[in-house]
Amino acid sequence: MRISEWGQPGAGTGQFNMPSGIAVGPQGEVYVSDAGNNRVQVFSSDGIFQRAFGSSGAEHGQFTGPSGIAVDPVSGVVYVVDSGNNRVQKFNASGQFLTAWGTFGSGQGQFNAPQGIAVDPQGAVYVVDSGNNRVQKFSPTGELLALFGEAGSAEGQFSSPAGIAIAGGELYVSDRGHGRVQVFTTAGVFQRAFGESTLVTPGGLVATAESVFVVDAGWNDDPSRPAGGVLAYSATGDLRFAWGDDRRMRFTFPVGITLDADGNPFVVDNGTARVQRFTPEGIPLDGWGSAGSGQTDLSSPWDIAIDGEGRIFIADGGNNRIQVFAGNGDYIGSWGSQGSGPGQFEQPTGIAIADDGSVYVVDSGNARVLQYDRNGVFVKAWGSRGSGDGQFTTPWGIAIRGQRLLVSDAATGRIQAFDLRGNFIWSFSPGVSPHGIALDAAGWIYIADTGNNRVRVYTPQGIYAATIGAPGSGFGQLSGPYAVEVAADGAVYIIDSGNARVQVFVSGE
């Protein structure tokens, strides 16, 4: 969720050309290295321009491609990495030049394309000397105190390090070439590394006592790894969540969702023929699937369900079958074929599993519901095309809670209730354009009202209770939602298909 933003391309006041570093002073002012304009701009915490200093050149107070910037948390002194001039420049909070140090080279106190910079609570200055694959530590006046690191892939070695941050008495350094973050003491002693399986080309980073936020500008061809964006880790390196251009969180046309026993959402993407698994907080865990008709392939999958053993069942609509996988995505088996006979399908669109493991499938093209045992053995079918009780026009979604089974009809907008043997109980027509349907622990009914860009909530008796969402693409708005699921804690997960995302609503939102 965006809180605020400011700036636009250009060279005017408050405009930027390749902003490359940001820091916050002790009074809350925001300092930005405006690399393409060879200056530093200063803003209030709400983005109001305050002042700027610097110009293009190599004299004192001038820059050539400034990059990292840091502010002493006590004195407010500003340190700027003047990357193109291979030096560090020091200014007071008003932008008055104080001193500078560094020249090009690989000797002690020299730099080769320096990037990141940080200041510890004692005033020591740490500079990422990217071209020399090391970090150098200086006093506030530029006296070299220590250096550590060298080229290589072992612990404590680097390949084009970029960013640096300090928190909890430790240094976090982004090792860009190796796709990881390395952690050191302030004396340069290696402690640990993390991010190898989730980062591609890490750059800038920010650290607190509890969390580390890493900007990843990388790109790769593996859809199981993130590519571009911000990733948040615990201080020990556990991935918490990510946002931005993370392809593991990217959908084309999501249409189905279910939750496992731990509350992890599994999302079916009809457009990419994939299943993706997330934590309840939305952190991508893994995924599988590819378009096709092979044994493990999917074609226009529409819905997903998980049984008590953790097996995953997918309504593989385009292949007219049910695919069964283990929780880790390993293929178990399948059943069904195209047709209208017993156990055959014409575009299965919905699937739900009863407490005893029986599997119920909405056979949309044949206007019926099919029942199977837990092993996929056909048991019975019910329904036919029509408008009477127990008949369907275009049945789509299905939900089970206890001994009650509900089916939505996308063409007529009718919701019908049956027992688990297929006996009609009652129906209601709430004036919606439904696809997915869900039941919470109390039996309340949640309908993905696709055509009206909302989710409607009804009591167990079918009396209208609430509406979730409104048309649009903003936070809390929906576009053609296809599916809905309710977690044990009452959180409502909505497949916002037209906006290619999942939104989660909790009580009071």
Render pLDDT for 398-452 as a digit per residue (tens, 0 to 9): 999 999 999 999 999 999 999 999 999 999 998 888 999 999 999 999 999 999 9
Please state the pTM of the whole predicted model: 0.62
The residue ranges of DSSP E strands in 77-179, in sequence order, are 78-82, 87-91, 97-101, 117-119, 125-129, 134-138, 144-148, 161-167, 170-175
CB atoms near residue 471 (< 10 Å) = 13
**How many separate helices (H) and strands (E) can be counted in the chain?**
0, 43
Average pLDDT, the chain: 92
Burial tier of 2 (Cβ tally within 10 Å: 0-12, 13-18, 19+): exposed
pLDDT at residue number 85:
97
Q: Sheet containing 170-175: which strands, arranged edge to edge?
A: 161-167, 170-175, 180-185, 190-194
Q: What domains are defined for the chain?
A: 8-244 (2.120.10.30), 430-508 (2.40.10.500)
Strand-strand pairing, 321-325 and 331-335: antiparallel
The token pair at 271 is: 């457009």
What is the SS3 assignment for 248? helix
Q: Which of 403, 400, 335, 338 has the alpha carbon at shortest distance from 364?
A: 338
Query: Cβ(32)–Cβ(17) under 8 Å?
Result: no
Render pLDDT for 444-499 as a digit per residue (tens, 0 to 9): 999 999 999 999 999 999 999 999 999 998 888 999 999 999 999 999 999 999 99
What is the SS3 assignment for 176? helix
pLDDT band at 221 (very low <50, low <70, confident <90, very high): very low
Render pLDDT for 63-99 as a digit per residue (tens, 0 to 9): 999 999 999 999 999 999 999 999 999 999 999 999 9
The pLDDT of residue 244 is above 70: no
Phi, psi of 353 (to 5 degrees): -125, 130
The token pair at 503 is: 């939104």
pLDDT at residue number 475:
84
d(CA 214, CA 289): 29
| 85-99, 262-276, 319-333, 495-509: range with lowest mean pLDDT | 495-509
